[in-house]
Amino acid sequence: QVQLVESGGGAVQAGDSLRLTCAGSGRDFSRDAMGWFRQAPGKEREFVATISWSAGITYYGDSVKGRFTISRDNAKKAVYLQMNNLKPEDTAVYYCAASERATSRSDRIYDYWGQGTQVTVSS
């Protein structure tokens, strides 16, 4: 069974940090691009960050650039999202996704999705 499982979410104060982890199983994700997306209540799903299979390419959404860092460890089958200086507007469910096709900001390119982890930032 192919799975992506996110963890590390929680409730924090503005200015705090969190590190999300996405663990893959059931297939080899080491050649896939991996991305993070988020969705706040009543809003469209938003691109957060993506990383190529070799970690040579990374892209970030404008709202998180300079605060969030995506990384991966293919040996551990894991992808991480380090989130610093969190703001209330970062409150959302965060999803991990894998793409066999491309390193992309578009959620339509991603083939596998996790169930999400909630991040809540209070002011």
pLDDT tens string 18-42: 999 999 999 999 999 999 999 999 9
Q: pLDDT tens digits, residue range 66-95? A: 999 999 999 999 999 999 999 999 999 999
The single-letter code of the amino acid at 12 is: V
Q: Which run of H or E residues covers position 93?
A: strand 92-99
- What separation, in Å, do the N-terminal and C-terminal C-alpha atoms of the chain show? 40
Q: What is the pLDDT of residue 117?
A: 98
C-alpha–C-alpha distance, residues 28 and 116, integer Å = 20
**Three-state DSSP state, 71:** strand
